[in-house]
Structure 1
Amino acid sequence: MNEAVFQSFFLIFTGAAIIASLAIYGRQPLLVAYIALGALIGPYGLGWVQDVHLLSEISEIGIIFLLFLLGLDLQPQSLMTALRKVTVVTLISSALFAAAGYLIAHLFGFNSTECLIIGAAMMFSSTIIGIKLLPTTILHHRHIGNMMIGLLLMQDFLAIFVLLVLLSGEGGQINVMQIGFTLLALPLLILFAWAFVRWVLLKLIAKFDRMGEYIFLLAIGWCMGLSELAEVVGLSREIGAFLAGITLASSPISQHIALTLKPLRDFFLIMFFFSLGAGFNLGLLPEIALASVALGGTMLILKPAIFRFLLGRQSEKKVLAWDIGFRLGQISEFSLLIAYVAFNASLISVQASHLIQAAAILTFLLSSYIVIFNFPNPIAVSERLRRN
């Protein structure tokens, strides 16, 4: 094994074990500890881990597994019901968040294109934090779980559309033909996935369901295979993974597959949060500190309030509406991807890209604190709130 790779893994996971232990004793959330570790030993901190780009690419597998497992927990009928309930709320809230992001960016002197992209990045909430801090019993069996999943999925679809627009850009030019081709590819991919699962995978599972190692391999192969196919046809690997999970949800051993893959998912998610902290250039912080605090702070206040109002108008109970609002009160990992893609396409400056990243990290940290100390979650520091 390459010595640098082994050294990086040693520093990440040994460091994560140490800092996680300190965080638990200090009653701090683990997500915060992983991000702090990345900032501390990454290239802009002590510099012990240098190749953050490679680690970031590896850690994206965790997001793919997260969406695959999310799909495994959803029956298609339940998904359609949830999406029907949240479509209007998602569209209105996303427009309001985008408008607020645009206005704040404009106040700090960014140009129109940068303001549009910064606004677009504010529309979404974090699937990773939202689902990771939601107890499994609530996720699977409660109305709040269905509502949150529906909201996050609708936001993910919007995020993917935004990414399609940005990925079609070369030097600031948008390729409308490429966008149209990609949108056409989505229903074709869904049809292929459904047919392949029905006529191939389910038959293999039924025949060899007692061979645990084979089922484990088959599940990973299907997840990765459809993810890569989605990338080839112009969609994202994340949506391919989600479709792979949904199409397998009807299998009688879908929950067995989900339980088997959860440790693998957590392994890569630790790397994701580490690379998030390590990839931030601390040298640019003085230039964007005020703007990032204004942007992130506004989202932390605005998102719970807007979700509370819109869900309340939709006849949801007040307590439930506030619960969902605070759980979705952060910016999304998709926002980080939007910043990366837009910067590479020369649509935004490095300052605008880091503004999105700084605001996202700020909301990740503070939103995690809010949920962990006030709402039921699997890693709560209080026994009263801890739910698995």
Structure 2
Amino acid sequence: GYLIAIALGMTQVVALYVAVALTFSSTIIIVKLLSDKREVDTLHGRIAIGFLIVQDIVVVLVMIGLTALGEAGDAAGLGWEAIEVVLKGSLFIATIGLLMRYVLTPLLHQLARSPELLVLFAIAWAVALGAAGVHLGFSKEVGAFLAGVSLASTPYREVIGARLVSLRDFLLLFFFIDLGAGLELATLGAQVVPAVLLSLFVLMGNPLIVMVILGAMGYRKRTGFLAGLTVAQISEFSLILGALGLSLGHIDAETMGLITLVGLITISASTYMILYSHPLYERISPWLSVFERKRAYREEALNRNTQESNYDVILFGLGRFGAGIEKELLQRGHHVLGVDFDPDLVRRHERHGYAVCYGDAEDPEFLATLPLGQVCCVLSSVPDMRVNLVLLHSLREHGYNGTIAVTAHTSRDTERLQDAGANQVLIPYSAAAAEAVDKLFGEGKQCQMQSPQ
């Protein structure tokens, strides 16, 4: 990014700001998209969120450094300013750490009796630390980020996160409004070509870099591709960084408009790339083998159970419904190989002695590693229509002739899955309701009133 900016005629300082802005990706947008696709707990989702958090930590440190640079009058004052920033930052973090240890968790235990109070406190806590960040000479974003980190360390992180989803999505609307308002329409024409070039670099270059790194680390090309797509846009922190550079006089309004335009292009384009990541991968996967080692040892470690040869059932999905099916099949003497895309769930089942492996039902290349030739039944407990349709298609492509059972929520989905080749379609709630009625009224049982004693 720096070299492209230099080639476009920017000065070294401006090119450095642009390059750094292109480096960071939007955590809030990626988390929302992965949540909507239910891929937060997948391997590529966890990898993506991991390096997005690292990026956020780095950009916060960069912003603190720039703040110190802006407050220093000269080179001599920069050293003292840096020491002061380090001291204030250390004191700020230490204070938050003490509050997390001795105040925050016990207080949340009391507030958790009312979900509304829990949400109100989370918002007030973020506002308070944001204000403290501004007062200490940092920024409100730094304070709010530390507030999120502190809340994430409590036992109520999932509850707070779930309750704040609607507020997050609502405030995201204003982020895009501010993004559009930051464009200078008068200078837009001169910025289109640089913005397109830089956007292409972000949309294609960033995913390629991630794929190279993950491939070298021993991950499969599919994991690298899906994780790489999540960095194909710039971050909201990139705009904050640009605004900070503008206030310090390091960049001008035209450069800020350029960064904003790149943000609009990359966020818009990458959203559809992520939403249609699986079909996109199927189309270009033959050309991605260069990004995968001959032996993807990182994921093979999670799939060692696929090498055994005594299975008669393969079960996709080890959630509550799938785990119940697995337990019942094992009690009846079947040899079951469980498959799930959540690495933590895979390890948990392994600790309990089950034969499980990591994998995705939507990955046709993964299906080729399974012992399909020996099992009599492939069962999916995942009630997702798209996932099950892809699984049915892939199994037929691999020539599987055994029984295929999938899961659906409605009778309409059942008909569509049967038309696609499913031999059996399970409807969990209907089956549970029928079993409950049988237990209450089956086998000649009569409904009788109990006489008072």
- The yes-or-no answer on 1:346 pairing with 2:249 is yes
Q: What is the aligned partner in structure 1 of residue 327 from structure 2?
A: none
Q: Distance in 1 between matches of 2:214 and 2:245?
A: 32
- The yes-or-no answer on 1:125 pairing with 2:25 is yes
Q: Determine which of 172, 175, 194 is the counterpart of 1:291.
A: 194
Q: Which runs of 5+ in 1 are unaligned?
A: 1-100, 377-381
Q: CA distance change for structure 1 residues 289 and 176 in 2, over 3 Å: closer, same or farther?
A: farther
Q: Distance in 2 between matches of 1:171 and 1:354?
A: 27
Q: Distance in 2 between matches of 1:200 and 1:171?
A: 36
**Of Structure 1 and Structure 2, which has the larger fraction of its residues in strand?**
2
Q: Distance in 2 between matches of 1:108 and 1:206?
A: 56
Maintained 8 Å contact 1:342/1:348 = yes
Maintained 8 Å contact 1:230/1:239 = yes
Maintained 8 Å contact 2:182/2:260 = no
Amino acid corresponding to residue 160 of structure 1 in structure 2: V
Maintained 8 Å contact 2:23/2:234 = yes
* CA positional deviation for 1:178: 2.9
* CA positional deviation for 1:172: 9.6
* CA positional deviation for 1:326: 0.9
* CA positional deviation for 1:334: 1.5
Maintained 8 Å contact 1:124/1:331 = yes
Q: What is the aligned partner in structure 2 of residue 46 from structure 1?
A: none
Q: Distance in 2 between matches of 1:121 and 1:250?
A: 29
Q: What is the aligned partner in structure 2 of residue 169 from structure 1?
A: 70
C-alpha RMSD of the superposition: 2.7
Q: Distance in 2 between matches of 1:161 and 1:343?
A: 18
Maintained 8 Å contact 1:171/1:345 = no
Q: Determine which of 28, 37, 45 is the counterpart of 1:145.
A: 45
- The yes-or-no answer on 1:374 pairing with 2:277 is yes
Maintained 8 Å contact 2:43/2:223 = no
- The yes-or-no answer on 1:218 pairing with 2:121 is yes
Q: Distance in 2 between matches of 1:274 and 1:179?
A: 35
Q: Distance in 1 between matches of 2:86 and 2:269?
A: 36
Question: Please, what TM-score do these two structures have when normalized by structure 1?
Answer: 0.65
Q: CA distance change for structure 1 residues 351 and 216 in 2, over 3 Å: closer, same or farther?
A: closer
Q: What is the aligned partner in structure 2 of residue 14 from structure 1?
A: none
Q: What is the aligned partner in structure 2 of residue 102 from structure 1?
A: 2
Maintained 8 Å contact 1:216/1:260 = yes
- The yes-or-no answer on 1:265 pairing with 2:168 is yes
For 1:358, what is the secondary structure of its paired residue? helix
Amino acid corresponding to residue 188 of structure 1 in structure 2: L
Maintained 8 Å contact 1:172/1:346 = no
Q: What is the aligned partner in structure 2 of residue 202 from structure 1?
A: 105
Q: Which runs of 5+ in 2 are unaligned?
A: 280-383, 389-453
Instruction: Pick 1 or 2: higher relative contact order, CA cutoff 8 A, min separation 6.
Output: 1
* CA positional deviation for 1:375: 4.3
Deviates more, 1:298-307 or 1:172-181: 172-181
Amino acid corresponding to residue 252 of structure 1 in structure 2: P
Q: What is the aligned partner in structure 1 of residue 239 from structure 2?
A: 336
Equivalences for residues 1-388 of structure 1 within 5 A: 101-135=1-35, 137-139=38-40, 141-167=41-67, 168-169=69-70, 175-375=78-278, 384=386
Maintained 8 Å contact 1:375/1:385 = no
Larger radius of gyration: 2
For 1:133, what is the secondary structure of its paired residue? helix
* CA positional deviation for 1:300: 1.2
For 1:367, what is the secondary structure of its paired residue? helix
Q: CA distance change for structure 1 residues 211 and 157 in 2, over 3 Å: closer, same or farther?
A: closer
**Of Structure 1 and Structure 2, which has the larger fraction of its residues in helix?**
1
1:246-266 deviation line (CA, Å, top 9, x unaligned): 333343333222222222222
Q: Distance in 2 between matches of 1:264 and 1:347?
A: 34
Question: Please, what TM-score do these two structures have when normalized by structure 2?
Answer: 0.57
Identity between Structure 1 and Structure 2 (%) = 34
1:223-249 deviation line (CA, Å, top 9, x unaligned): 221222233333343343333233333
For 2:39, what is the secondary structure of its paired residue? helix
Q: CA distance change for structure 1 residues 318 and 204 in 2, over 3 Å: closer, same or farther?
A: same
* CA positional deviation for 1:188: 3.0
Q: Distance in 1 between matches of 2:30 and 2:53?
A: 12
Give aligned pairs, total: 280
